[in-house]
Amino acid sequence: MSVVSLARLLSVATLAALAGVASFGAPGALAEGATAPKNRVVMQVSDNDPAKWNLALNNARNLQSDLGAKNIEIEIVAYGPGIGMLKAESVVGNRIGEALGNGVMVSACENTMHGQKLTKPDMLNGIGYVPAGVVEIMQKQQQGWAYLRP
Amino acid sequence: MSVVSLARLLSVATLAALAGVASFGAPGALAEGATAPKNRVVMQVSDNDPAKWNLALNNARNLQSDLGAKNIEIEIVAYGPGIGMLKAESVVGNRIGEALGNGVMVSACENTMHGQKLTKPDMLNGIGYVPAGVVEIMQKQQQGWAYLRP
Amino acid sequence: MSVVSLARLLSVATLAALAGVASFGAPGALAEGATAPKNRVVMQVSDNDPAKWNLALNNARNLQSDLGAKNIEIEIVAYGPGIGMLKAESVVGNRIGEALGNGVMVSACENTMHGQKLTKPDMLNGIGYVPAGVVEIMQKQQQGWAYLRP
């Protein structure tokens, strides 16, 4: 951490020295400063537990109602024992439809589906798919999304 | 955040422009820019539940198989009720050995061990130790690692 | 970590000294450079499970004892099925009092309270309140706090 940060500081110094432009760089910082920070949450569902599925859906609804649906991006990622949340016969199928209608992204893990011999016709309509739920959750965090495990 | 980042960039740029030290380095930052960002995940195991232990190990395996083991750093931290995952008689002892062989870091919380009167001979061979699991998990996140609680 | 702070402090100091603009921006960065980096953890309690409540409180205590209570900020956010942790009759009421006395922030979700027809007189003395637990947890992460779900 300290080495990388120091190296980053030094690299900016080098670039600035070579270019000789004190106003060089910082487009990212300027862009960041120009807009409100984006609210983004990736939610993990990995339990075979309808109470957890409902809690995740409640959390998504509360985030949208408190911040305004336009002001937050939410992705629910179901994988492992949580994949049942997104099967066609899911007890929360109706609520998933509502969440999708409200702009929540809902993603099923294809690794898990493969392991459980599930194909897209076995799943709810309208959902999305990711190759690997854990990779998706990690990458979203690395892109600055907050993490929530209901 | 943006103000701080901008101020930092400007201050370094000014330092470099005024000091004119073109050979000031930056190998780290250049390397960082030249390669894909590092994937790093710290996984928390704090349940006394072999199903969760297996899910954690599955998650680690999937992360490595999807991204390539060389392209991701994974640390599994077991603490509290999860410490049983790493005891010598653990039902997932064999899988822990495999994970270690594949380059996954596996760390036991010494705070928990002390509380349960466990010493290193009580634990699986080859694992690592951290003074406090929760401190480790916090610090890794502060160093940019993603967090996953299977 | 100290290297980063030092580099940041030096760069900002150099900027100010050479450019002679002591009043230019970056007061945040100066303040940041002048103190140790802050350890900050937001802990989620969303299970109706006293074992999880005790684990959360153990985690908070360990973080404070390992790092020094002055060197870490901890907020425990209880919401959904976890709200019982903070009711007046909570089985961990005594420990909550201790945690508050040690500087841990403890916050109840008003969304959850409303849904369960709970009002402040139903809750433990001394705790704090947030409009929505999930929003609090998301925002803290976006401000750089680590996340822990015991």
Question: Nearest CA of chain C to the CA of B103: how many Å?
Answer: 25
d(CA A105, CA B80): 34
ipTM over 0.90: no
The alpha carbon of residue A100 is apart from the nearest alpha carbon of chain C, in Å, by 19
B13 touches chain A (CB under 8 A): yes
Tell which phi-psi region holds residue A79, choosing left (phi > 0), alpha (psi between -120 and 50) or beta. Answer: beta
CA angle B58, B40, B45 (to 5 degrees): 45
Least CB–CB distance from B141: residue in C10, C67, C147: C147
Reduced to 3 states (helix: H, G, I; strand: E, B; else coil), residue A111 is helix
Contact A17 B14 (CB under 8 A): no
Is some CB atom of chain C closer than 8 A to the CB atom of A41? yes
Banded pLDDT at B80 (limits 50, 70, 90): very high
* Per-residue model confidence (pLDDT) at position B6: 44
CA distances from A54 to A49, A76, A85, B141, C139 (A): 9, 12, 9, 28, 22
**Position C110 pLDDT exceeds 60:** yes
Spatial CA neighbour of B15 closest among C109, C15, C78: C15
Q: Which of C24, C40, C52, C134 to mutate to test the interface with A (most CBs of A within 10 A)?
A: C134
**What is the token pair recorded at A31?**
């862009």
Query: What pLDDT score does C38 carry?
Result: 80
Q: Is B6 on the interface with C (CB under 8 A)?
A: yes
Residue A92 pLDDT: 98
* pLDDT tens track for B91-134: 999 999 999 999 999 999 999 999 999 999 999 999 999 999 99
Per-residue confidence (pLDDT) for residue C33, from 0 to 100: 44
Please state the pTM of the whole predicted model. Answer: 0.78
Which of A3, A12, A23, A114 to probe by mutation at the B interface, max B CB count within 10 Å? A12
Instruction: Return the pLDDT at A144.
Output: 95
Q: In tens digits, what is the pLDDT along chain A, a chain of 150 residues?
A: 444 444 454 444 443 343 333 333 333 333 444 455 489 999 999 999 999 999 999 999 999 999 999 999 999 999 999 999 999 999 999 999 999 999 999 999 999 999 999 999 999 999 999 999 999 999 999 999 999 999
Nearest CA in chain B to C147: B138
> What is the predicted pLDDT for the residue at C35?
55
Task: Report in angstroms the alpha-carbon separations of B115 from B79, B81, C59.
Answer: 11, 11, 13
- Which chains border A (3 or more CB–CB pairs < 8 Å)? B, C
Q: In this model, does residue C20 exceed pLDDT 90?
A: no
- Verify whether the Cβ–Cβ distance C67 to B135 is below 8 Å: yes
Distance from CA of A127 to the nearest CA of C (A): 23
Residue to mutate among B2, B3, B15, with most C CBs inside 10 A, is B15
Whole-number Å distance between alpha carbons of C92 and C87: 9
* Rounded CA separation B36/B74 (Å): 17
What tens digit of pLDDT does each residue of B1-55 get? Answer: 444 444 444 444 443 343 333 333 333 333 444 455 489 999 999 999 999 999 9
User: Taking 50 as the threshold, does the pLDDT of residue B66 lie above it?
Assistant: yes
Task: Count other C-beta atoms under 10 Å from residue A62's C-beta.
Answer: 21
* DSSP tag of A102: T
Q: What is the pLDDT, as a whole number, of residue B136? A: 98
- Considering only CB atoms, B22 lies closest to which of A18, A25, A134, namely A18
Of residues C80 and B32, more confidently modeled: C80
Long-range contacts of C22-31 (CB under 8 A, 24+ apart): C25/B3, C25/B6, C25/B7, C25/B10, C26/B3, C26/B4, C26/B7, C26/B8, C26/B11, C28/B3, C28/B4, C28/B7, C29/B4, C29/B7, C29/B8, C29/B11
pLDDT at C54 > cutoff 80: yes
Instruction: Report the pLDDT value the prediction gives residue B38, as an integer from 0 to 100.
Output: 81
Any chain B CB within 8 A of the CB of A18?
A: yes
Strand order in the sheet with C146-148: C128-130, C105-109, C72-78, C39-45, C146-148
Q: With cut-offs at 50, 70 and 90, classify the pLDDT of residue C36.
A: low
CA atoms within 13 A on the CB side of B45: 29
Q: Angle, nearest 10°, between helix axes C50-67 and C93-101?
A: 20
Determine whether the interchain pair B46/C55 forms a contact, defined as Cβ–Cβ distance below 8 Å.
yes
Smallest CA–CA distance, residue A5 to chain C, in Å, is 6
**Nearest CA among C141, B26, C127, B15 for reference residue A148:** C141
pLDDT of residue B35: 54
With contacts defined as CB-CB under 8 Å, which chain B residues touch C148? 44, 134, 137-138
